[in-house]
Amino acid sequence: MEKRVTFKGIWLPLLLVLPQILVTAIFFFYPAGQAIWQSLFIPDPFGLSMQWVGLGNFEFLLSDRFYRASFLTTAIFSILVTVVSMGVALYLAVLADRLIKGSGTYRTLLIWPYAVAPAVAGVLWLFMFNTRVGVVTWYLGALGYDWNHVLNEGEAMGLVVVASAWGRISYNFLFFLAGLQAIPKSVIEAAAIDGARFWTRFRTIVWPLLSPTTFFLLVVNIIYAFFETFGVIHTITSGGPQQATTILVYKVYSDGFVGQDLGSSAAQSVILLVIVSILTVVQFKYIERRVHY
């Protein structure tokens, strides 16, 4: 039996939900509304006047080849981050699941990177790969490879992907491990008796039973790659070289606060808002149905 709390008046319940509503209003609805409003204007660089341009900012953006290039960069970046962080996490979780002794220590150590802030993680990786003093760069040099992510676009992308995926592995690992441990042991044993060896068991039993977890992580990781990787990119490449690592959310920042084109920046955040809404709706509406068994 579900026990529901009922209130007599309207004021107490209102008071109870007020903090949540206030937080959402101040930090989401107000800025989002501001962004939508500003996207319809071009302000001057000093913020002294604004000129109404209607959908002019959007028209300009959609015909701008740099903006379209940023879409491609974002797609490549988020696919790579998601695949790398989820792939490595799944591999580690499968190993940890088979572990009997010391699994607690192993788990704790693997969770640590999650506690590192993206910007700090970015700086850590930047130091290791610094073109002049980086440890990894030095060893690569010793092996005859000239690492220079400041000039090489592919290397820059590789570095921000690794740095972004690294902190994310812990989070994914936790969910995958919980997902694996939720699969009844006897089901795996039954498959073993049925003749399935490790890889066959994984492919036909474990992976399908893990699909709700995988789907959830897919959504969460794509959204992470879209937005929360700003700190990593800002510290390591600042979107360069030649915009090779300028993903959409970084372009919002660099066009708005570096380029001082606040109208375009606002229009870009509106576009991002729409993209993420569509992504989420599509994923939950259509893909989720297929992963339930």
Partner 1 sequence: MATVTLKNLKKSFGKTDVIHGVDIDIQDGEFIVIVGPSGCGKSTLLRMVAGLETVTSGEVQIDGKTVNDVEPMDRDIAMVFQNYALYPHMSVFDNMAYGLKIARVGKPEIAERVQNAAKLLQLEPYLQRKPRELSGGQRQRVAMGRAIVRKPAVFLFDEPLSNLDAKLRVQMRLEIKALQRELGVTALYVTHDQVEAMTMADRMIVMNGGVADQIGKPLEVYADPATEFVAGFIGSPPTNFFDGALIGDQSGRIGVRPEHIRLSDTGILQATVGYAEALGAETLVHLRAEDGSQITVRQDAALPIPSEGETRALTWDTAHVMRFHENGVRL
Report which residue type is found at 50: M
Of the pair 176, 230, the CB lying nearest partner 1 is at 176
54: left (phi over 0), alpha (psi -120 to 50) or beta: left
- Our CB check for partner 1 shows the closer of 88 and 192 to be 192
Contact call for residues 274 and 46 (beta carbons, < 8 A): no
Binding region for partner 1 (CB under 8 A) out of 26-34, 50-58, 113-121, 185-193: 185-193
- Nearest alpha carbon to residue 255 among 13, 48, 42, 1: 42
The whole-angstrom separation of Cα 56 and Cα 145 is 47
Q: Does 197 bind partner 1 (CB under 8 A)?
A: yes
Q: Which stretch binds partner 1 (CB under 8 A): 131-139, 150-158, 181-189, 230-238?
A: 181-189
Q: Which CB, 200 or 280, lies closer to partner 1? A: 200
Pick the piece of the chain touching partner 1 (CB under 8 A) from 20-28, 158-166, 196-204, 269-277: 196-204
DSSP secondary-structure letter at 240?
-
Q: Is 202 in the site for partner 1 (CB under 8 A)?
A: no
Given a contact cutoff of 8 angstroms between Cβ atoms, the answer to whether 263 and 59 are in contact is no
Using CB under 8 A as the binding rule, whether residue 102 contacts partner 1 is answered as no
Q: Are 91 and 268 in contact (CB under 8 A)?
A: no
Binding residues for partner 1, total number by CB under 8 A: 18
Judge whether 119 and 232 are in contact, CB under 8 Å.
yes
Q: Is 187 in the site for partner 1 (CB under 8 A)?
A: yes
C-alpha to C-alpha distance for 73 and 61, rounded to whole angstroms = 16
The single residue among 9, 45, 54, 195 that binds partner 1, judged by CB under 8 A, is: 195
Is 132 or 197 the residue whose CB approaches partner 1 more closely? Answer: 197
No. of helices (H) and no. of strands (E), the chain:
15, 2
| Stretch touching partner 1 by CB under 8 A, among 21-29, 83-91, 140-148, 198-206 | 198-206
Work out whether 64 is an interface residue with partner 1 (CB under 8 A): no
Question: Which positions touch partner 1 (CB under 8 A)?
Answer: 184, 186-187, 189-197, 200, 204-205, 208-209, 293
